[in-house]
């Protein structure tokens, strides 16, 4: 028997979300605006529709946010701004396939950061996944260089910026992880996105980039970045997490590099090199191993906690 409509909707939504986030890199490449400006307007246009809702329905929660939580939210917003700024810039220097694959490696850095900063246990299988992904990065970055076939003006610089973007995305996740246990989604997102918007605004000014005077085509691209990867992408993914296992959602997000690579081939005639394809496949395999193992450990930890609470009712 097939799945019922109620069961199919989250899967359909997840598919739509993967297509949505896959368009992000292409839209950045289509834009002639400076990368920081495109990043600024993506976050700004994602935040503006949320402000009336946040101020109307969540005013009390905003007042109740403690100073320490605001500080962590600000830190999360700064990390997100650096993620967008570095990743968008990486697309100026390397291929879409390499950039999107490397920036999607953030689960590896989340696992390492949680081990170093949050004292989370890291298993041998997680270490294996991380090492496999590192091998993939080496194959992708050095293979093209040694083989003499390069896609992009400076692939090593672009790949490095994409990796830095992955590290900052991991910092964004880690900084907001405990905070989300105490603050609702909308207030949290509005604070983080607002800080991110201000940071990108400052970065654009420091780089001497103009924020006005762009033709209608650019404004449509900015709106597309907020609508596709933002609204239809990450927003739908957050909705799907209520109905699907987090492991399925996390691994499904690895469809972004595949989708972005296919779109770049069709729309930009950008053919990834064999080293990019090989290295990217190895990276994705390492991410899958690490993500699935980390989710398994977290689920086991939650099960053990519930069992312990059941055995000790006074808790």
256 inside domain? yes
**Tokens for 230?**
């933002």
Task: Give the total residue count for the chain.
Answer: 315
Write out the residue range of the structural domain in which residue 178 sits.
12-311
6 inside domain? no
17 inside domain? yes
Spatial separation of the C-alpha atoms in residues 194 and 144, rounded to whole Å: 39
Q: How many domains does the chain have?
A: 1
Spatial separation of the C-alpha atoms in residues 156 and 159, rounded to whole Å: 5
3 inside domain? no
Instruction: With a cut of 50, say whether residue 307 has pLDDT above it.
Output: no
More confidently predicted of 81 and 244: 81
5 inside domain? no
Confidence of residue 273 (pLDDT cuts 50, 70, 90): confident
Instruction: With a cut of 90, say whether residue 202 has pLDDT above it.
Output: yes
Rounded average pLDDT over 104-125: 84
Q: What is the pTM of this model?
A: 0.84
2 inside domain? no
Confidence of residue 149 (pLDDT cuts 50, 70, 90): low
Confidence of residue 147 (pLDDT cuts 50, 70, 90): low
pLDDT at position 236, please?
83
Q: Indicate the SS3 state at residue 147.
A: helix
Q: Which of 22-36, 115-129, 228-242 has the lowest mean pLDDT?
A: 228-242
**Tokens for 148?**
């003499």
**Tokens for 202?**
């400052």
264 inside domain? yes
pLDDT at position 312, please?
53
Confidence of residue 199 (pLDDT cuts 50, 70, 90): very high
Closest CA relative to residue 177, chosen from 73, 63, 261, 258: 73
Q: What angle do CA 82, 271, 37 make, to 5 degrees?
A: 25
List all residues 6 or more positions away from 257 whose beta carbon is below 8 Å from its beta carbon: 97, 100, 101, 104, 280, 284
1 inside domain? no
């Amino acid at each position: 028997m097939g799945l019922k409509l109620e069961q199919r909707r989250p899967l359909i939504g997840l598919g739509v979300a993967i297509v949505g986030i896959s368009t992000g890199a292409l839209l950045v490449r289509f834009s002639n605006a400076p990368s920081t400006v495109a990043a600024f307007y993506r976050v700004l246009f994602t935040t503006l529709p949320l402000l009336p809702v946040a101020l109307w329905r969540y005013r009390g929660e905003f007042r109740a946010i403690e100073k320490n939580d605001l500080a962590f939210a600000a830190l999360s917003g700064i990390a997100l701004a650096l993620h967008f700024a570095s990743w968008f810039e990486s697309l100026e220097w390397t291929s879409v396939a390499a950039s999107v694959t490397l920036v999607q490696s953030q689960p590896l850095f989340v696992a390492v950061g949680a081990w170093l900063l949050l004292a989370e246990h890291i298993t041998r299988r997680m270490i294996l996944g991380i090492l496999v992904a590192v091998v993939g990065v080496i194959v992708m970055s050095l293979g093209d260089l040694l083989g003499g076939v390069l896609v992009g003006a400076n692939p090593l610089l672009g790949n490095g910026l994409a990796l830095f973007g992955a590290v900052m995305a991991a910092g964004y996740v880690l900084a907001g992880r405990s905070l989300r246990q105490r603050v609702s989604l909308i207030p949290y997102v509005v604070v983080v996105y607002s800080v991110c918007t201000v940071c990108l605004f400052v970065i654009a000014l420091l780089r001497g980039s103009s924020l006005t005077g762009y033709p209608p085509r650019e404004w449509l691209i900015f709106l597309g970045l907020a609508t596709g990867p933002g609204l239809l992408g990450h927003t739908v993914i957050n909705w799907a997490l209520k109905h699907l296992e987090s492991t399925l959602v996390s691994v499904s997000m690895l469809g972004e590099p595949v989708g972005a690579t296919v779109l770049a081939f069709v729309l930009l005639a950008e053919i990834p090199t064999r080293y990019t394809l090989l290295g990217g496949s190895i990276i994705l395999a390492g991410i899958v191993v690490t993500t699935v193992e980390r989710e398994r450990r977290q689920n086991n930890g939650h099960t053990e906690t519930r069992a312990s609470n059941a055995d000790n009712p006074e808790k």
